Structure 1
Amino acid sequence: MANSFLQIEGLTKSFGELVLFENISLGMCEGDRVGLIARNGSGKTTLLNIIVGQEGADCGTVIFRNDLHVGYLSQQPTFADAVTVGDVANGNAETVRILTQLKITDLAQPIGQLSGGQRKRVALAKVLTDDPQFLILDEPTNHLDLEMVEWLEDYLSHTRTTLLMVTHDRYFLDRVCNRIVELADKTLYTYKGNYAYYLEKRQERIAAQNALVDRANNLLRTELDWMRRQPQARGHKSRSRIEAFYELEERAKRRHEQQALRLQMKSSYIGNKIFEAHHVCKSFPARGASDTEKIILRDYDYTFARYEKMGIVGPNGTGKSTFLKMLLGIVQPDSGHFDVGETVRFGYYSQEGLPFDETKKVIDIVRDIAEYVQMSDGSRLSATQFLQNFLFSPEKQYSYVYKLSGGEKRRLYLCTVLMRSPNFLVLDEPTNDLDIVTLNVLEEYLQNFGGCVIVVSHDRYFMDKVVDHLLVFKGQGELQDYPGNYSDWRDWNLANAMPDDDGKTSANEPAKNVKPRTEKAPKLTFKEKQELAELEAALPRLEAEKAELEALMSSGTLSGPEIVERGQRMQQLIDEIDEKEMRWLELSEKA
């Protein structure tokens, strides 16, 4: 029988009236590799903090085996700023080796000079090499590039260390964990198997729960009829049946219909010209005598196509985020330029996140941008309704930003980006801190998005679902354009690996500047070309008139009859725009 390492019994935690989990229990034995998953704000990090003793529970016990060496990687590790990387390594050769693997090489550098992501990597190297018997990791893949994620996946797969971790990386869960524990409905559900097994069994559990609720509802109807006919209860038998009725009523309310994030925002019209890169060069000078010039782009040329969905991958520090900022005009190239089309409306989701005013309420963050949001079906939602689509309950909307979890803040940030109706999404590590449910919905939204997408992400599953080709940053201005998703590219690299002189393997280069694969379509007739040109001229004019009308109707200066008249014109505009956009889509597919 396996040795028991951890036993949790009757654990409850709440903040005021908000109950995160109630009377939960969990046991872990030597060799268990448990992935803990839940929605943002459900209490995953709080549970880990309670387990390691950094936070208290309302009631319940957490018991580790005596003399068990436990290692903990928190989401935001803390060090004294004056401590150097070498001080953390403390002469441990294995720690230095892993730091090098994680691209941390300057042992003399003070921790205070490192970014949040670099601090996380230093803490990861330290915890892995402290010889723990039990590892607890909170989002270990955040701030790692794809090469590092795959290295860590391989490292953990081949170690005997018992593991409890929170991660949103579905490939990582599938390949490392042998047990999935879901925190939902204030309790824990355990599945013995990997992530794929969990998905299958979870659906079976929900179906079984709903079947029980259906039976309870049928019985409730009978009992409700009895309750209506029942005079004031006098006997013990009646009182017992009434008590049973209320228990039955509570059970009948438990249907599992997990509220889904709904992304149905309207994207604005986008023309044929997206952007063109002309001989773009960018580099950063050496920072010291031992450093070298850092080249980001070297004479980069590219024409971005309408509806293109590009994924950007590469080691940390090769310039992926800088590339996005140059496209957006935040950072200027040394030479060359990006020529962006007139109809392009960027929606930028930065890796650093939006610096919200923490003292503001969630609803005020959204209202500062717009009181109403246009949806894809032509309807308009108020700020409150729109936030409910993003799973912010009315109570949560009126709470302060500083009270949100890290994942909830990222979800709010995503909300503020999409509500502006962009037609070109530029997303820098959008999957960090988002829960799996939100990721699934975001993936579906991006797959059907009627515009363009560029995304930088270390989430391999996400990239496989969303992008149609990759731009690979290899460092020092070397780029590789690959037609396909991340798994296609990785398989290609493995299949084409060639031994170098030192015995290592490297992949042959595919053809440069390969464009995404496109299917041949029937060409437009002369009349259709004329019609397409007319549509492309008319749509921006109609959108402008609609925006002016929306502003006028929201101004509060119109009389009752004027509101009716403008409302009729608004409906005409919506119908005309929808009709022309549908026709434009048909013709543009053939263009």
Structure 2
Amino acid sequence: MKTFIAENLSKNVGDRTLFHGANFLINEGDKIGLVGLNGSGKSSLLNSLVDSNELSGGEIKTPKEYKITYLKQQPELDLEKTVFEAVLDGDDDVFKLVNNYEKTLEEYNNDINNEKLKKRLFDLQEQMNNKNGWEIDTDVKTILTKLGITEFDKKIKNLSGGQQRRVALAQALITETDLLILDEPTNHLDYQAIKWLETYLTRLKNAVIFVTHDRYFLNQVATRIFEIEFEKLTEYSGNYEKYLQQNQKMKKFKQLL
């Protein structure tokens, strides 16, 4: 089992401390909801999980070749790529193969008498058979469709901000990773897309940590809650509803002290 270990993490912004002494583990399959008031340090914590240089103190330990995928609130997509190309915009050889196949298929459909294109397409089809390319191709189109994006050949620059956000989410979901970090994943999604995303995330084998203002989504997906409050990170087991119950009990106990 791959485990992400955080030891004594702290983050200061100027003379203000966002959090300090944060210790926690993230195991395979964990679905962690990160909660706290606006400005409490949620985004800073997410950033530090990707880049420990963002921290003011503490240490992060991960196994070798531990991969983290981060969906930020503002998409970072190549505006000149098509939707399909953007989703598979990575160094993975299979991603490159699938993109190449789709591009060649489009070229061949526009010039079906071109023997060179026909041969290239045949060669790519053989590679797709051997390298699980068809499954990736289908998964990308399914995820995009479930998120409400159906024009796969449209350029990113011609999409609205909300559509670009959904493409970035699809890119994060299709990427093979150990830890998936999602900052407000339900933004710009309709009810059906949110319900689909709930099911998709709960079935994922890898770990997920996410921030959302959608309390119902948080309750449905989270198996653990991390709360940042008064410069401290506190961990609660269970979903959001159980967190509220535990949090209330803790506050009553403190009042009795």
The interval holding the TM-score normalised by the smaller chain is 0.7 to 0.9
Amino acid at match of 1:44: K
For the residues of structure 2 that align with 1:86 and 1:153, how far apart are their CA atoms?
A: 23
Counterpart residue number, 1:26:
24
Structure 1 residues 38 and 98, CA, compared in 2 at 3 Å: closer, same or farther?
Answer: same
Kindly report which structure 2 residues correspond to 1:502-541, keeping only aligned pairs within 5 A, or say none: none
Counterpart residue number, 1:62:
60
Kindly report which structure 2 residues correspond to 1:358-437, keeping only aligned pairs within 5 A, or say none: none
For the residues of structure 1 that align with 2:161 and 2:39, how far apart are their CA atoms?
A: 21
For the residues of structure 1 that align with 2:216 and 2:151, how far apart are their CA atoms?
A: 31
For the residues of structure 2 that align with 1:79 and 1:4, how far apart are their CA atoms?
A: 29
Instruction: State the aligned residue count.
Output: 210
Amino acid at match of 1:50: S
Matched, 1:188 2:186: no
Counterpart residue number, 1:88:
86
For the residues of structure 2 that align with 1:107 and 1:194, how far apart are their CA atoms?
A: 36
Amino acid at match of 1:73: L
Structure 1: tracts of 5 or more residues without a match: 213-591
Give 1:104 shift.
1.3
Among 203, 207, 211, the residue aligned to 2:248: 203
Structure 1 residues 35 and 64, CA, compared in 2 at 3 Å: closer, same or farther?
Answer: same
Kindly report which structure 2 residues correspond to 1:573-588, keeping only aligned pairs within 5 A, or say none: none
Amino acid at match of 1:40: N
Task: Report Cα offsets for 1:362-414 as digits up to 9, x if no partner.
Answer: xxxxxxxxxxxxxxxxxxxxxxxxxxxxxxxxxxxxxxxxxxxxxxxxxxxxx
Give 1:101 shift.
1.5
Aligned 8 A contact 1:33 1:162 in 2: yes
Counterpart residue number, 1:169:
214
Query: Which structure's CA Rg is the greater one?
Result: 1
For the residues of structure 2 that align with 1:65 and 1:172, how far apart are their CA atoms?
A: 30
Aligned 8 A contact 1:89 1:96 in 2: no
User: What secondary structure sits across from 2:54 in the alignment?
Assistant: coil
Matched, 1:142 2:142: no
- Relative to the length of structure 2, the TM-score reads 0.77
Aligned 8 A contact 2:31 2:202 in 1: no
Amino acid at match of 1:10: N
Among 223, 231, 235, the residue aligned to 1:178: 223
Amino acid at match of 1:47: L
Kindly report which structure 2 residues correspond to 1:434-445, keeping only aligned pairs within 5 A, or say none: none
For the residues of structure 1 that align with 2:145 and 2:166, how far apart are their CA atoms?
A: 10
Counterpart residue number, 2:46:
48
For the residues of structure 1 that align with 2:30 and 2:153, how far apart are their CA atoms?
A: 37
Query: Greater helix percent: which structure?
Result: 2
For the residues of structure 2 that align with 1:153 and 1:179, how far apart are their CA atoms?
A: 15
Give 1:45 shift.
0.8
User: What secondary structure sits across from 1:39 in the alignment?
Assistant: coil
For the residues of structure 2 that align with 1:58 and 1:83, how far apart are their CA atoms?
A: 37
Counterpart residue number, 1:130:
175
Give 1:131 shift.
2.0
Kindly report which structure 2 residues correspond to 1:329-344, keeping only aligned pairs within 5 A, or say none: none
Aligned 8 A contact 2:35 2:227 in 1: yes
Counterpart residue number, 1:6:
4
Give 1:54 shift.
7.7
Aligned 8 A contact 1:32 1:179 in 2: yes
Matched, 1:98 2:96: no
Aligned 8 A contact 1:101 1:148 in 2: yes
Aligned 8 A contact 1:5 1:68 in 2: no
User: What secondary structure sits across from 1:40 in the alignment?
Assistant: coil
User: What secondary structure sits across from 1:132 in the alignment?
Assistant: coil
For the residues of structure 1 that align with 2:27 and 2:76, how far apart are their CA atoms?
A: 29
For the residues of structure 2 that align with 1:131 and 1:16, how far apart are their CA atoms?
A: 36
For the residues of structure 2 that align with 1:117 and 1:63, how far apart are their CA atoms?
A: 35
Among 147, 159, 176, the residue aligned to 1:114: 159
Aligned 8 A contact 2:186 2:194 in 1: yes
Task: Report Cα offsets for 1:52-111 as digits up to 9, x if no partner.
Answer: 118611111122222223221111121122122121134341112211111212222221
Counterpart residue number, 2:94:
none
For the residues of structure 2 that align with 1:60 and 1:31, how far apart are their CA atoms?
A: 24
User: What secondary structure sits across from 1:27 in the alignment?
Assistant: strand
For the residues of structure 1 that align with 2:212 and 2:149, how far apart are their CA atoms?
A: 22
Aligned 8 A contact 1:46 1:55 in 2: no
User: What secondary structure sits across from 1:189 in the alignment?
Assistant: strand
User: What secondary structure sits across from 2:21 in the alignment?
Assistant: strand
Aligned 8 A contact 2:6 2:24 in 1: yes
Aligned 8 A contact 1:49 1:55 in 2: no
User: What secondary structure sits across from 1:72 in the alignment?
Assistant: strand
Task: Report Cα offsets for 1:461-518 as digits up to 9, x if no partner.
Answer: xxxxxxxxxxxxxxxxxxxxxxxxxxxxxxxxxxxxxxxxxxxxxxxxxxxxxxxxxx
User: What secondary structure sits across from 1:51 in the alignment?
Assistant: helix
Structure 2: tracts of 5 or more residues without a match: 89-97, 99-135
Amino acid at match of 2:41: G
For the residues of structure 2 that align with 1:63 and 1:121, how far apart are their CA atoms?
A: 31
Asked which structure has the greater RCO (Cα within 8 Å, sep 6+), the reply is 2
Amino acid at match of 2:242: Y
For the residues of structure 2 that align with 1:51 and 1:42, how far apart are their CA atoms?
A: 16
Amino acid at match of 2:235: T
> What RMSD in Å do the two structures reach over aligned CA positions?
1.6
